[in-house]
Amino acid sequence: MNLQDIENLYLKRQSCRSYADTVVPEKLVREICRVALLAPSAVNAQPWQLIAVSGDKAAEVATCVQRLGMNKFAAKVSTFVVVAEGKGNLMMKIGSIFKENEFIKNDLGILTAHLVLAAEAAGLSSCIIGWRDEEKLRTLLGLDKNVRIPIVVALGYPEEGYSILKKKRKPLDEVFTLIK
């Protein structure tokens, strides 16, 4: 694998908001999550848990990401992976305080990136969803009230005719500097 292969994968990964009815096999969801969980984390604390939701419960998760008329596409999503905070470790907590760096937030973001790219490599499409009702999700999934859920990822096969658009990104020179 070379940089071009990675770029091709990145270009192909697109936030998909139109899904086919085909259900994603449970085994595939598990495999994608297993691979994504190879993601790095501060002091290797792995302060996360992935909760895959399919079937009738997925329809309930959809309602948790649709407040104020947002994310209408979620109604057709048959599999969600909820990216939730899990147990970290003492080193991570001490490091976060001393370095004023909320490692857990970085770690969950990095995990999410691994997840959507693993899904893409497995032939699925995905959409990262940050517009969610955390309280409702916690109740639905039986999580403690202090467990943060920054992201929900929609997974599925794209609808027929779905096309990959050209990526809109800031020009490199606006966001990249090389200092010698």
Ligand X SMILES: Cc1cc2nc3c(=O)[nH]c(=O)nc-3n(C[C@H](O)[C@H](O)[C@H](O)COP(=O)(O)O)c2cc1C
Out of 8, 15, 101, 139, the residue judged to bind ligand X by CB under 6 A: 15
Site for ligand X in 32-61 (CB under 6 A): none
Quick check: 108 binds ligand X (CB under 6 A)?
A: no
Q: Is the dihedral of CA 152, 156, 162, 163 positive or negative?
A: positive
> Please, are residues 19 and 126 in contact by the beta-carbon 8 Å criterion?
no
Q: Determine, following the binding rule CB under 6 A, whether residue 130 of this chain makes contact with ligand X.
A: yes
Q: Phi/psi of residue 65, each to 5°?
A: -115, 15
Smallest gap from residue 131 Cβ to ligand X (A): 3
CB 116 within 8 Å of CB 151 = no
Structure tokens given for 108: 């969950």
Does residue number 125 form part of the binding site for ligand X (CB under 6 A)?
A: no
Alpha-carbon distance 155 to 124, whole Å? 7
Q: Work out how close the CB of 150 gets to ligand X at its nearest, in angstroms, rounded to a whole number.
A: 7
Give the residue, chosen from 14, 54, 79, 96, that forms a contact with ligand X under the rule CB under 6 A. Answer: 14
Q: Does 128 bind ligand X (CB under 6 A)?
A: yes
The interface with ligand X within residues 159-178 (CB under 6 A) comprises 167
For CA atoms 40, 42, 45, 50, give the dihedral sign. negative
Q: Which stretch binds ligand X (CB under 6 A): 1-9, 14-22, 26-34, 155-163?
A: 14-22
- The answer to whether residue 153 forms part of the interface with ligand X (CB under 6 A) is no
Q: Per rule CB under 6 A, is residue 71 in the interface with ligand X? A: yes
Helices (H), the chain: 3-12, 26-36, 56-64, 90-98, 103-121, 134-141, 172-175
Residues forming contacts to ligand X in the complex (CB under 6 A) are 14-15, 17, 71, 127-131, 167
